[in-house]
């Protein structure tokens, strides 16, 4: 089958760009090229930003009720196209169809939250704060927002950003991953079908030079990014130094603590699902199990059983539990880290290297791996592996488990499995992590809260979506007003005004 051409989306239509070149897009389950992606030049990013800036002036002054009506329509469009979006995700990312459909569903939750923004954007009013003086506050949109999103959630992360940015009156230029860009183009068409004016949502595909242009562009007012920590730090430093508002979500090394009083079957089931789901290519994947006390041996045996039950294959086929990694380079890196862990003293309780899926020999597959007795000094512990690898670290008590987590430079998500409310309460108060699960392995907050980590997992003040998302994409104004009565002058004073 010939590779289909994938374009940009600028000013309400597909755009071939300036001819900077093309990049192949692959199906990770087969290793075959399925698409040919047009790469942008900085000049293409300039055109997208210019179009977004022009339309911002009218979109930002469009009545809120009309903006929200577009959001309601967009929600229905996305829901109706869930299966199509899921198939596109699976074809270019590799995750299973049910996992891809779940990604769309979590994006829908944020659209639904954005549909309720008239309540959030009401503002505040204080009457008679001083004689004849009232004070009120409200929020206004920023302008043009650059959204730079990762390969691992090609629908969900754009939907964590764009609905709130657009509902609050901003225009968006989306720069998706070059590895799985097609879903972004379908989202652009659905926005248009929902009645969104041209150029409020644009898509520009490209590499580092395009990102650099968006970071330096004078007409880009804010940058929202999700990706690795080194890139997040760099984007935050460059964009904020130019006066832009920035939220840059970085990497993770998520720990799950298992206490002796926990239901070990429950813990093992959920640890395996959280570690191996989507081939571990999630920033909220559990990559470290912290076994407390004497629970380690039994927990590892149960994890070995769960890993053996994972069906690895083409995510488009029914019954597959885990698909491939995104690229052959990703597979090579993951398997290299597993090999290195053994050399550093870890016990390979389950070795997923060298897996070949029958009929999909060209796919980028590796199997689940479980590494036991992993030292916190080992590379398999320190690195964000982004693959189906679960490291087991053994500690003597809850205090040591918390110390391990707090000493880690990442602070995205964590979890505890326990039957003790007291232990759970102590854990959630003491860990220096932004999102915490109690008997929940992947604690991604509901849309009415906000998603974001601590430490090297977030650069910037605001978390993503929810109330923090509204705060990020808007800025406040406070008005202090007086309307003097006729023939009743207000005395002026050189002194600092008081109430």
Q: Which residues are catalytic?
A: 283
- Nearest CA to 290 out of 402, 421, 377 is that of 402
- Whether 125 and 134 have beta carbons less than 8 Å apart is answered as yes
Answer positive or negative: Cα dihedral of 406, 407, 413, 419: negative
**Phi, psi for residue 474 in degrees, rounded to 5:** -135, 165
Round to whole Å and give the CA distance between 252 and 249.
Answer: 10
What would the DSSP string read from start to end of 253-304? -EEEEE-TTS-HHHHHHHHHHHHHGGGG--TT-EEEEEEEGGGHHHHHHHHH
- Nearest CA to 138 out of 482, 478, 480, 481 is that of 478
- Token digits of residue 152: 């691992």
- Bridge partners of 152, per DSSP, are none
- Spell out the residues 6+ positions from residue 277 whose beta carbon is closer than 8 angstroms to its own: 99, 285, 322
Round to whole Å and give the CA distance between 415 and 419.
Answer: 13
- Whether 193 and 77 have beta carbons less than 8 Å apart is answered as yes
What would the DSSP string read from start to end of 59-117? HTTS-HHHHHHHHHHHHHHHHHTHHHHHHHHHHHT---HHHHHHHHHHHHHHHHHHHTH
Round to whole Å and give the CA distance between 405 and 397.
Answer: 13
- Nearest CA to 87 out of 78, 96, 74 is that of 96
CA-based Rg of the chain, rounded to a whole angstrom? 25
**Phi, psi for residue 36 in degrees, rounded to 5:** -125, 110
């Amino acid at each position: 089958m010939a590779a289909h051409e994938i374009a940009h989306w600028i000013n309400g239509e597909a755009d071939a760009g300036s001819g900077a070149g093309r990049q192949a897009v692959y199906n990770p389950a087969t290793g075959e090229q399925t698409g040919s992606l047009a790469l942008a030049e900085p000049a293409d990013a300039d055109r997208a930003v210019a179009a977004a800036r022009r339309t911002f002036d009218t979109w930002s002054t469009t009545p809120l009720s009309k903006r929200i009506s577009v959001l309601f329509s967009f929600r229905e469009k996305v829901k109706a196209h869930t299966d199509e979006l899921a198939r596109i995700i699976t074809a270019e990312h590799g995750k299973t169809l049910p996992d891809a459909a779940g990604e769309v569903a979590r994006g829908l939750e944020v659209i639904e939250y954005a549909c309720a923004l008239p309540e959030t954007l009401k503002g505040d009013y204080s009457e008679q704060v001083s004689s004849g003086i009232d004070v009120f506050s409200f929020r206004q949109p920023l302008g043009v927002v650059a959204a730079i999103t990762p390969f691992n959630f090609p629908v969900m992360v754009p939907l964590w950003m764009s609905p709130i940015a657009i509902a609050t009156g901003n225009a968006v230029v989306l720069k998706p991953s070059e590895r799985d860009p097609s879903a972004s183009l379908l989202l652009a068409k659905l926005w248009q079908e929902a009645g969104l004016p041209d150029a409020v949502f644009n898509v520009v595909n490209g590499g580092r030079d395009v990102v650099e242009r968006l970071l330096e562009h004078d007409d880009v007012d804010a940058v929202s990014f999700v990706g690795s920590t080194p890139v997040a730090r760099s984007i935050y430093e460059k964009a904020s130094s130019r006066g832009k508002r920035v939220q840059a979500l970085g990497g993770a090394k998520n720990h799950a603590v298992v206490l002796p009083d926990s239901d070990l079957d429950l813990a093992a089931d959920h640890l395996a699902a959280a570690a191996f789901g989507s081939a571990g290519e999630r920033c909220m994947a559990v990559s470290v199990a912290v076994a407390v006390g004497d629970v380690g041996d039994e927990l590892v045996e149960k994890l070995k059983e769960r890993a053996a039950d994972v069906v690895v294959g083409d995510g488009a086929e029914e019954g597959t539990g885990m698909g491939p990694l995104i690229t052959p380079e990703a597979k090579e890196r993951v398997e290299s880290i597993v090999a290195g862990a053994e050399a550093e003293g870890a016990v390979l309780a389950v070795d997923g290297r060298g897996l070949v899926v029958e009929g999909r020999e060209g796919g980028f597959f590796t199997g689940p791996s479980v590494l036991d007795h992993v030292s916190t000094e080992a590379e398999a512990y320190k690195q964000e592996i982004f693959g189906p690898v679960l490291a087991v670290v053994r500690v003597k008590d809850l205090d040591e488990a918390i110390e391990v987590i707090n000493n880690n430079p990442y602070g995205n998500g964590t979890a505890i499995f326990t039957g003790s409310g007291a232990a759970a309460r102590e854990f959630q108060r003491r860990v220096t992590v932004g999102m915490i699960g109690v008997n929940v392995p992947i604690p991604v907050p509901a849309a009415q809260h906000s998603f974001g980590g601590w430490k090297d997992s977030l650069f910037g003040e605001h978390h993503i979506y929810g109330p923090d998302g509204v705060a990020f994409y808007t800025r406040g104004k406070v008005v202090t007003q007086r309307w003097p009565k006729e023939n009743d002058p207000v005395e002026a004073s050189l002194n600092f005004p008081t109430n």
